Amino acid sequence: MSGSLLVVSGPSGSGKSSLCRKICDTYDYAALSISTTTRALRASEKEGVDYLFTTKEAFEKAIEQGEFLEWAEVHGNFYGTSKRWVVDMLSKGKTVVFDIDVQGQAAIAKLFSDRLTSVFVTTPSLEILKDRLVKRATDNAETIERRLKNALDEMAQIDYFDYLVINDRFDESYETLKAIVLASRVKRSKVSLCDFISAWKA
């Protein structure tokens, strides 16, 4: 496996999904992991593009069959990452980009510590986060309250991430993330030193 992994986490409304998509549109080698979820489809979303939408029963069956690299309950819904697809992309040398929560980051860090780069994206303040969630208008008031409450728990996990991006201006955050992606591709720990030196000498 020669690829690398880039996990992007952060509160709902931080702008991390848009940043991940733009990175994957920019670089041919960056591939976005499309998660499976039991959450209801939003009007703006498309099956297979934003998520693979499924039922709780089918999700539980997929867990039993070991189909997920990691899965978690987030804001009352289930979300999981396809193991087969990720392994396939890594074997092709891709940088797999994950738009997942802090639980997913912890699980992936345990599996791939040597080839993982993690980024936490947030807003300049809680007030700005609230404002963005309200303006986005994809969730009702109760869901927004739940997401804001969870944001505080997610912020408490920042210490476990390599980079912190305060997404005030999208274009600046995108430039920062591009620099992180480039650096993540040349992480020294990705390379087995013995193999590298033998090949270099030959």
Binding region for ligand 5GP (CB under 6 A): 12, 35, 39, 70, 72, 74-75, 79-81, 99-101, 103-104
Q: Is 103 exposed, middle or buried (0-12, 13-18, 19+ CB in 10 A)?
A: middle
**In which order are the strands placed within the sheet that holds 52-53?**
52-53, 36-37, 77-82, 68-74
Question: CA-to-CA distance for 74 and 103, rounded, in angstroms?
Answer: 9
Cβ pair 156, 112 in contact under 8 A: no
Instruction: Give whichever of 87 and 191 is closer to ligand 5GP, judged by the CB atom.
Output: 87
- Give me the least distance between CB of 158 and ligand 5GP, in Å please: 14
Residue nearest to ligand 5GP (CB): 104
Residue closer to ligand 5GP (CB basis): 79 or 120: 79
Smallest distance from ligand 5GP to CB 65, Å: 16
β-sheet with 163-166: strand ranges across = 30-32, 95-99, 4-9, 116-122, 163-166
Q: Nearer to ligand 5GP by C-beta: 83 or 191? A: 83
Q: Tell me how far, at minimum, the Cβ of 183 lies from ligand 5GP, in Å.
A: 22
Whose Cβ is closer to ligand 5GP: residue 146's or residue 185's? 146
Cβ burial of 173 (10 Å; 0-12, 13-18, 19+) is buried
Find the shortest distance in angstroms from Cβ 101 to ligand 5GP: 4
